[in-house]
Amino acid sequence: MRVCVGTTVHHPEDARIAHRQIRALLDAGHEVTFVAPFTHCNVTPRPGIRAVDVPRAVGLRRGKALRAATSALRTAARDADLLLVHDTELLLALPRKRPPTVWDVHEDTIGALNAKTYLPGPVRSVLPPLIRAIEGRAERNLHLILAEEAYRERFPGTHPVVPNHTYVPPAPPAPPGDSRVVYVGQISLARGAAEMVEIARRLRPHGIRLDLIGPADAAVRPMLRDAQRAGLLDWFGYVPNNHALRMAEGALAGLSLLHDVPNYRQSTPTKVVEYMARGIPVVTTPLPRAASLVGRVDCGTIVPFGDVGAVADAVVQCVLRLREDAERRAAMGARGYVEALNHYHWPAVAGEFVALLERWAQAPTTVPALSPSRTVPA
C-alpha cells in the first residue's frame, strides 16, 4: 500500500504522526510519502520515506503553505492508494481526483481557538461556523479517525478511535530522583508557561531545577529566554519525542499544568501518559480525564487551577513533599509505569491502525471533491 501523509501545521517529527503512525506503516511494509515542513523545522527526513517539503503554516501566514500543500497532495495522489491528512485546513487542499482519504482528528478545532493568541478577536468569533461546515463536509465525504473518545460527541456518525498512546519501555525505568522536575511538550500560556517559570523561581532555593523540553509559542519565548539567562531553568527547545522522554527519565515529577480551556477539557493529555510510561510521578491540573487517571492509579498529585502564584505555590509544596519521601515517589512512578504498559502501549493498537487503513484503501471512492451529498462509511 502506498500512503501519502500530509501536514503543514505539525512538526515533521510529531510523535503521533511520525513516531507512531508512519513508523507503524513502515514496519508493516507499506510505502509512505510524507508532505511536511521539513526545511522550516530543520528536520532531515527519516530513511525509508519519500519526503516532500512544504512551508509551515504559522500564525496568520498560511496561504503559501496551503497552496504548496495543494500542489504536493495533487501530485502525490496520482500514485497513492490512500491519503492521510492531519490538519483541518488541509481539508481545503485535497485534490479533486484522489484515492480514499482519511482525516485524523487530533484536537477540538473550535475549542482550540481561544489558545490561538495570534487571531484577532473578530476573526476568532466568526471562525466556529466555518469550521463546523468544513468538518461536516469532511465527515460526509472522508474517513475519519479520532484521537480521543470524547471527540465522538462532535460528529453524528460513528468513527474509529486511534488513541494517542505512547511507547512504553519493556523494563521499568530507574526510580524518580530528587533534584529535577520536567515538562515535555509544546510550551504556551495555556499549557502553563507562566506558572512553570514561577515554579522554577521558587524551586531554585531548594536546589531543584526545572527542565523544559519542547518548542514554545512565540508569545512565551522571551519569558523562557529571560528565565534561562537568569539560571532559573533549562529550556532545551524542540527534541524528538523518543529522545525527550529519555531525557525526562529519573525526574522527581513531570508537570502537566494545562488550563481549563475547551480544547483540553475532554482530552487525556498525552504527556501525562508519557510521564507514567517513564516512571515519573505526575503533577496535573484537575482536567477531568487527567485527574481521573492520576487519581485512579495513584501515580501523582492533582493541583488546583488558579492564578500563576497560587498554582506555583501548590506545585512547589507538592514537589517538596515528594522530594522528602523517596518511597512514595518510587511507588507512584512504579504504579504509573505498570498502568501505561498494560493500557497505553502504542504497539498494542498499531496493528489495528494499519489494518484500518488497509481496509479503506481497498474501497476506492469516486467522489471528485468534497460534496455535501456523499457519505463514506467508517
pLDDT at 338 over 60: yes
User: Cα(109)–Cα(91) distance, rounded to whole angstroms?
Assistant: 13
DSSP line for 256-311: E---S-HHHHTS--HHHHHHHHTT--EEE---HHHHHHHHHHT-EEE-----HHHH
DSSP H helix total and E strand total for the chain: 12, 12
What's the rounded Cα separation, in Å, for the pair 108 and 130?
Answer: 14
Question: Which residue bears the cell 509505569?
Answer: 337
Greater model confidence, 265 or 276: 276
Per-residue confidence band for 371, with pLDDT thresholds at 50, 70 and 90: very low
Give the separation between CA 223 and CA 268, rounded to whole angstroms. 27
In the chain, what's the furthest Cα-to-Cα distance? 65
Given a contact cutoff of 8 angstroms between Cβ atoms, the answer to whether 147 and 21 are in contact is: no
Beta bridge partners of 254: 182, 282
- Could you give the angle at which helices 288-297 and 270-277 cross, rounded to 10 degrees? 20
Cell of 260: 481549563
Distance CA 194, CA 303 (A): 16
Query: pLDDT tens digit string along 119-150?
Result: 666 666 777 778 888 889 999 999 999 999 88
What is the average pLDDT across 286-314?
96
Euclidean distance between CA atoms 24 and 167, whole angstroms: 12
Name, in order, each residue with C-beta under 8 angstroms of 292's C-beta and a sequence gap of 6 or more: none
Check residues 372 and 74 and name the one with the higher pLDDT: 74
| Contact (Cβ atoms closer than 8 angstroms) between residue 197 and residue 213 | no
pLDDT at 37 over 90: yes
Q: How is residue 174 annotated by DSSP?
A: P
Predicted confidence at residue 348, as pLDDT, reads 94
Record the cell numbers describing residue 337, joined without a space.
Answer: 509505569
pLDDT for 363 equals: 75
Looking at residue 365, what is its pLDDT?
52
pLDDT at 177 over 80: yes
Q: How confident is the model at residue 378 (pLDDT cuts 50, 70, 90)?
A: very low
What pLDDT score does 301 carry? 97
- Cα separation of 214 and 104, whole Å? 23
Q: What is the pLDDT of residue 188?
A: 94
pLDDT of residue 109: 73
Whether 266 shows a pLDDT value over 60: the answer reads yes
**What backbone phi and psi angles, to 5 degrees, belong to 223?**
-60, -45
For residue 252, pLDDT over 60 is answered with yes
216 Cβ contact partners less than 8 Å away, ≥ 6 residues apart? 186, 187, 188, 193, 224, 235, 237
Question: pTM higher than 0.75 for the full model?
Answer: yes
Predicted local confidence at residue 130, as pLDDT? 83
Within 13 A of 112's CA, how many CA atoms are on the CB side? 10
Would you report the helix, strand and coil content of the chain in percent, each value rounded to 5? 45, 15, 40
Q: What is the mean pLDDT of residues 313-324?
A: 97
Mean pLDDT along residues 266-270: 88
The answer to whether the beta carbons of residues 181 and 281 sit under 8 Å apart is: no
What secondary structure letter does DSSP report for 345? B
> What does the alpha-carbon distance between residue 192 and residue 222 come to, in Å, rounded to a whole number?
15
Rounded mean pLDDT, 74-96: 93
Query: Per-residue pLDDT for 161 more than 60?
Result: yes
Q: Of how many residues is the chain composed?
A: 378
- pLDDT for res 108: 76
What's the average model confidence in pLDDT over 174-189? 96
Amino acid at 221: R
- pLDDT surpasses 70 at 118: no
Question: What is the DSSP-derived secondary structure letter of residue 351?
Answer: H
The mean pLDDT value of the chain amounts to 90
Q: In order of start, what are the domains of the chain with their CATH numbers?
A: 2-165+346-361 (3.40.50.2000), 180-341 (3.40.50.2000)
Spatial contact of 110 and 125, defined as CB atoms under 8 Å apart: no
Given a contact cutoff of 8 angstroms between Cβ atoms, the answer to whether 268 and 294 are in contact is no
Average pLDDT of 46-56? 94
pLDDT given for residue 121 in this prediction: 67
CA atoms within 13 A on the CB side of 216: 20
